[in-house]
Structure 1
Amino acid sequence: MTSNENTSVPGDPGPGAADLSKEPEPIKAVPLRRPGRWIAAAVILVLLGLFVYGAATNDAYKWSTFGKYLFDSRIVAGAVVTLELTVLSMALAVSLGAILAVMRLSPNPVLRSASWVYLWIFRGTPIFVQLVFWGLFPSLYKVIVLGVPFGPQLLKLDVQNLQMPFLFAVIGLGLNEAAYMAEIVRAGINSVGEGQREASTALGMTWSMTMRRTVLPQAMRVIIPPTGNELIGMLKTTSLVTALPMTTDLFGKARDIYSVNFQPVPLLLVAATWYLAVTSVLMVGQFYLERYYSRGLSRQLTGKQLQDLADAQQIVKAK
């Protein structure tokens, strides 16, 4: 009896089988050449250089005046007032906006209607016009009386003697911004699925605990980015408080100075530089805040996580 030539020996991969003992050759990846990007970058750099050179050599910009007033005490004081207006107005807007958002989501038709009317009025009229009305508030309401109808008066406020444009500016900016924050908060709450609330209720959580521990932490991923944009927008909107009138903010101080020295261009550049500097700081804070609330949302691993994974694989291979 003849032996079968095709009989395989144990451990022999056999004819036609892949040799698993040999490691595959590493792939030599060649990056794709993109000459269009380099050409576009070169054109942009050339145009930017021409603009900077033209602005630096143009005497109309008055760069000496720009350097003189950049850190002037009046400009710095105006920047502080602008920051105060921004923070206080946004605090009022966020608080009132959250209340309006809850009213919009309420099953009570009266609360829903009242919230909708508020949003309709403040989103449908220009902020400058609203600030003009707040500047005329002492003319519209000379005396404010709080008390029982046809009874004793608890509080009587003479509005004519109030010289508080800062307070009216905060109220005007905050009430207008609250209409936009209400829609942002409402969208963030609606982005969390009903299953999250149902699961929290099944675990015995109350409505407040569900909102605090389940809904709001997930909704912040949606709320934070537009809120940061609104904060930056509020910083620049404070320049409209001149409608009250109010001249203690950054733009008001710059305008007071160039109305005396008749050099508006360098003073406007000073104000723009301060606005740009503060906005840049707010953008950095917004970036880290967004990254904090987006933890676990993306499957992309960080550098430290990739290094830990590689170390773990090396330990497994060593065993």
Structure 2
Amino acid sequence: MSFIHIQEVIPRDGFQIERNFVPTDKKINLINELSDCGLSKIEVTSFVSPKAVPNLKDAEEVVTSIKRNPDVTNVALIANVRGAERAIAAHIDEINLVMSASATHNKKNVNRTHEESLAGFNEIMSRVHGTGIKVNGSVATSFGCPFEGEIAENAVQHFIDKYISMGMDSITLADTTGMANPVQVKRLVEKVIDQIGDVPLTLHFHNTRGMGLANVVAAIEAGATRFDSSLGGIGGCPFAPGATGNLCTEDLVHMLHEMGLETKVNLDKLIELSKGLPELLGRNDIPGQIVKAGKVTDLHKT
């Protein structure tokens, strides 16, 4: 099997809903540290309205100030053409476009119908064309919606076809509210890999109901090799009830290494960075487990 790509999202998906604003210089320092950990991608910010997401109001300064590691793809989420223009001006490596498979969640998340979102994506693709910036298309609520319940697999695949026809470079299936189970994940991932062929596929799981790592194993069994995760398990969708908690990066990497899978990620450095999160975020605890329990190889004195 190819090695597993780990893609860090704490600077965007993690920080966006924190109670306290993380100072810009500390964001930049954390991203620089993460860039030296062996990660494949880092979602560094989002070029959206500061009124909508005030915690990411410093997007330009973050993107233009971080140290660029040629082995790491720096990604920014955008919502419209204005966001694309800001991302282009900041020389981001990749933009991430998100639409929910659930019509209800899409309306609550971006206040658009599916048709409006797709039309906006077409406009963004035209604007980005020729810049050298890659485009990833994410299908949120791919495994279930807190408002609509089950999402039909053919609906998810329909939107993927739309993304591919627009010329998007990669695809993400997002379990936005932590509703996926391993059997469901394996089935859908197998279908999507067969559908998109060599187009890179990422899985974005949340651990809302404790099934995140099990879903990773199921996705790997189906052929997936790319996963989003957040240092310390920080973050979640602000427009989905109870959806706090991304998959924890150090917990994920620890599990993969114990399974004998290669990630090229420096787990010890991740753990040290995670230990600093309570002070950085102004909170007493973080969801991650390895920081609390230690690695299985950390033996105790008898």
- The interval holding the TM-score normalised by the smaller chain is under 0.3
CA radius of gyration, larger in: 1
Greater percentage in helix: 1
Give 1 or 2: higher strand fraction. Answer: 2
Q: TM-score if structure 2 supplies the norm length?
A: 0.26
The two structures have a TM-score, normalised by structure 1, of: 0.25
| Higher relative contact order (Cα pairs below 8 Å, separated by 6+ residues) | 1
